[in-house]
A = this chain, B = another copy of it.
Amino acid sequence: MEVKVLKNILSANDELAERNRQLLEGKGVFAVNIMSSPGAGKTSLILETIKRLKDKLKIGVVEGDVSSSIDADKISQQKVPVIQINTDGGCHLDANMASSALNNLPLGEVELLFIENVGNLICPAGFRLGEHKKAVLASVPEGDDKPYKYPAMFQIADVVLVNKIDLLPYLQFDIKGFSKAVKALNQNAEIFQISCTTGEGIEDWISWVLANVHPSTP
B-binding residues in A (CB < 8 A)? 37-40, 65-68, 70, 89, 91, 118-123, 126, 139, 141-143, 145-146, 148-152, 164, 166-167, 170-171
Contacts known (A37-B39, A38-B37, A150-B38); A122 close to B66, Cβ less than 8 A = yes
The answer to whether A91 touches B89, judged by C-beta atoms less than 8 angstroms apart, is no
CA A152 to CA B86, docked complex, whole Å: 14
How many copies of this protein are present in the complex? 2
Within 8 Å by CB of A91, from B91, B166, B170, lies B91
Residues of B within 8 A of A141 (CB): 39, 139, 141, 164, 167
Residues of B within 8 A of A120 (CB): 91, 120-123
Residues of B within 8 A of A70 (CB): 145, 148-149
A137 to chain B, nearest CB (A): 12
The answer to whether A143 touches B39, judged by C-beta atoms less than 8 angstroms apart, is yes
CA A143 to CA B119, docked complex, whole Å: 12
What are 26 A-B residue pairs whose CB atoms fall within 8 Å in the complex? Answer: A37-B38, A37-B39, A37-B119, A37-B121, A37-B142, A38-B150, A39-B142, A39-B143, A39-B146, A65-B149, A66-B149, A66-B150, A67-B150, A70-B149, A89-B122, A89-B152, A91-B120, A119-B121, A119-B149, A119-B150, A141-B141, A141-B164, A141-B167, A167-B167, A167-B170, A170-B170
